[in-house]
Structure 1
Amino acid sequence: MLASSEFSEVGLVDMKFSLALPREAMSVPVIRRVLGDALRGLGVSEDCIDDILVAASEACTNVVRHSTTVEYEVDGTIDDENCVLWITDHGTGMRRPAETGELAESGRGMNIMRALVDDLTLDARPDGVRVAMRKRLTWHDEALMRRLESELVHSAR
């Protein structure tokens, strides 16, 4: 399982957030908006943001479609190097898709997430499921220059 201390060092960026959301379809765009706005505000490159948002959306959609919980949590840390997210439900475990057309549509989310992030783990327990993902961040050139300028000012003192 990924832990925030495994991936973060105190640097110029150190953001943490935690959201508890109802297990309903409208919660997925909320996550995309909150997370996307935070990453854009910090100067993360748009390609990197897109990867994170698609992977997070897949994990949240899996909770909405397959969990038995009433609500779920999205916790995250963003630092100079990485964005780490934990999507956790506290249901009675994952329900299986119906043996009909739903099965044909299911099962691709984990592969999509694995292709978009650097590390991905799924921890299925009797008290729920936790997906942990880490994506190494890339920055817009302007954001990188601001970070370098700040580092130079600190080292010149």
Structure 2
Amino acid sequence: MLGDTLRCIGVSENCVSDVLLATSEACANAVRHGGPSKRYEVTAAIGQGRCELRVVDNGLGIGAVPRQYPAGDAEHGRGILIMQSVVDEIFFDITPGSGTTVLLRKELDWDEEFLARHDRELAAV
């Protein structure tokens, strides 16, 4: 739904891919670290030329943000670094025992061909 919404307003496919990749990684972390219920909530807001996403879980939280990619044979540990590489801003609000909120912000890049074909203004987008 998020990807379709971004495409409908004329966001470039590369930008859409970055947003979806970051969201997918944040959701995967929520499932992996989000506690026994594996439940999480995703909210998105689009406005003022950017997309802001929040992924909230009720898990124990992460211990620390990795500074480098893990060894090539490691099965896990790349998600946060991948998110950092494709969004403009990433923030964590970790409350041990009560959950983690991941906030992702991405400045939107526009598909100029799409915008030229659609005679409309994107007010406040």
Structure 2: how far apart are the matches of 1:52 and 1:63? 17
Q: Which residue of 2 aligns with 1:20?
A: none
Structure 1: how far apart are the matches of 2:51 and 2:36? 26
Letter in structure 1 aligned against 2:78: R
In the superposition, the TM-score normalised over structure 1's length comes to 0.62
Runs of 4+ with >3 A deviation: 92-95, 142-151
Q: Which residue, out of 104, 110, 135, partners 2:80? A: 110
Deviations 1:57-93 (A, max 9, x none): 0000111122205221101100141000000002343
Structure 2: how far apart are the matches of 1:149 and 1:68? 45
In the superposition, the TM-score normalised over structure 2's length comes to 0.77
Structure 2: how far apart are the matches of 1:123 and 1:150? 35
Question: Larger helix proportion, structure 1 or 2?
Answer: 1
Label 1:148 to 1:138 Cα distance change in 2 as closer, same or farther (>3 A): farther
Structure 2: how far apart are the matches of 1:132 and 1:69? 22
Deviations 1:3-48 (A, max 9, x none): xxxxxxxxxxxxxxxxxxxxxxxxxxxxxxx111111111110000
Q: In the alignment, is residue 121 of structure 1 matched against residue 91 of structure 2? A: yes
Label 1:146 to 1:107 Cα distance change in 2 as closer, same or farther (>3 A): same
Identity fraction in percent: 45
Structure with max Cα Rg? 1
Structure 1: how far apart are the matches of 2:79 and 2:107? 20
Structure 2: how far apart are the matches of 1:150 and 1:50? 23
Q: Which residue of 1 aligns with 2:68?
A: none
Give the C-alpha shift of residue 147 in structure 1.
Answer: 8.4
Paired residues in the alignment total 111
3-state SS, counterpart of residue 104 of structure 1: coil
- Contact 2:43–2:55 (Cα < 8 Å) also in 1: yes
Q: In the alignment, is residue 85 of structure 1 matched against residue 56 of structure 2? A: no
Structure 2: how far apart are the matches of 1:114 and 1:93? 18
Q: Which residue of 2 aligns with 1:45?
A: 12
- Contact 1:67–1:94 (Cα < 8 Å) also in 2: no
Q: Which residue, out of 96, 100, 105, partners 1:134? A: 105
> What are the ranges of 5 or more consecutive residues in structure 1 without an aligned counterpart?
1-33, 96-102, 152-157
